[in-house]
Amino acid sequence: MSLELTAPIPEEPSVADDGTWLECIECGEQFAPFDDVRYTCDDCDGLLEVRYASPPTWDDFEGRGVWRYNAALPFEEGVSLPEGATPLHTVPRLESDVGVETLRIKHEGMNPTGSFKDRGMTVGVRVAKELGVGRLACASTGNTSAALAAYGARGGMETLVLLPAGKVAAGKIAQAALHDARILEVDGNFDSCLDIVQDLAARGEVYLLNSLNPFRLEGQKTIGLEILEEFFDDYGTYPDRIVLPVGNAGNTSALYKAFRELVQSGALDAEDVPKLTGVQAEGAAPMVEAIENGWDETRRWDDVETRATAIRIGNPVNAPKALPGIRETGGTAVAVSDEEITEAQRDLAAEGVGVEPASAASVAGLRKLRENGTVSEDEQVVCLTTGHLLKDPDAAFEAGDDPEPVPNDTDAVLEHLAE
């Protein structure tokens, strides 16, 4: 199987361009990377992956941010704002409360538009320029639209975003609008929006930049590279487990690909690869369902609901890449309630780390897995938080404390504080 953790370095095919090509994860068909616009396999419609004849080692990386890792990417540089180099926070009180040896928070909300999506767009928009396409498009629960609009604007390209009407946080719509994207609100959920964008892409009307696009995931895999490097610098070892929110399962797929390539090059031993552990909201948990039932694929949930809007997705398109990633690394998946997500959001805020609800799902999931014994007390864990607090200010306001009205008088303020 081409997605095995210990799969050898692939042999470079004749269609490769400077050691890079596209390969179907289902049938193995190979394609030139930049000759035509292509999202899935021409033969079987399977998902494509970017492959490299020479996977990188740690010595190949220099600089800062996403493009520090250009030896692991299709180009030397991309359309950049710049992105990456996000903090790996310590959270000592939360670490003690959850009950693990080490807990660090990789805060992707510190990217330029406030989410991890920027990592994918710096690569994806660069590929769009290479292909000579005009209009960029995505379906979105909010963060993808904000990132695409910003990077499309940076690249001087037209952008179109389709959003589920009434289901996207205002802060995210505002970003896309200000960056001059054309916004279409669809009477349906995210998966309906993605269906339409895929149809538009198939007709040649747009260049699709959802995570179905294999080049998007190349940028996102740099999250995993940063985690491993910084964690090793601090502790001299790699984390036992990485816990991350799951919507379309792009990050799970991307991190697993990063680790596979490091194993191929000899830069990382297979036994040192962190367990990839996915967390979904109970109202949108097809990946968890598949893991718990031992299925090889997910089953689409047509009705999904959660306050964690960024992971309100019922048909994770990257499941065929993500399920092997979870299983091959010895990880698992767990569903958490909206109440547990809100509690975790408050816990992170108490440590000064402000995230949107979907981001907090990783901490909520870790807590649940620690309580049921799946995660042991001696584990070193990194939780990925994917979006900034201000992505969804309404949710933050609901989760936080209410303002306290006081008279316009200093003594009255002191009296109120003493009560």
Which residue positions form the known binding site for pyridoxal 5'-phosphate? Answer: 143, 247-251, 386
409 vs 144, 403, 404, 405, 417, CA distance in Å? 47, 17, 14, 12, 13
Report which secondary-structure segment, H or E, holds 358: helix 357-371
Closest CA to 217 of 266, 181, 252: 252
SS3 382: strand
**Binding-site annotation, residues:** 143, 247-251, 386
Phi, psi of 23 (to 5 degrees): -140, 140
The DSSP-derived string for 238-269 is: --SEEEEE-SSSHHHHHHHHHHHHHHHHTSS-
Distance CA 331, CA 54 (A): 27
Closest CA to 367 of 352, 377, 358, 357: 377
The DSSP-derived string for 128-196 is: HHHHT--EEEEE-SSHHHHHHHHHHHHTT-EEEEEEETT-S-HHHHHHHHHTT-EEEEESS-HHHHHHH
Residues 3-34 as b/e (b if ≥16 CB within 10 A, e otherwise) read bebeeeebeeeeebeeebbbbbbbeeebbebb
Distance CA 244, CA 242 (A): 6
- Which tokens sit at 144? 């993808």
- Which tokens sit at 56? 């990188």
SS3 5: coil
The total number of residues written for the chain in this structure: 419
23 vs 8, 29, 45, 211, 393, CA distance in Å? 15, 6, 12, 16, 41
Phi, psi of 150 (to 5 degrees): -70, -45
Please report the sign of the dihedral spanned by the C-alpha atoms of residue 353, residue 359, residue 365, residue 366.
negative
Distance CA 222, CA 119 (A): 8
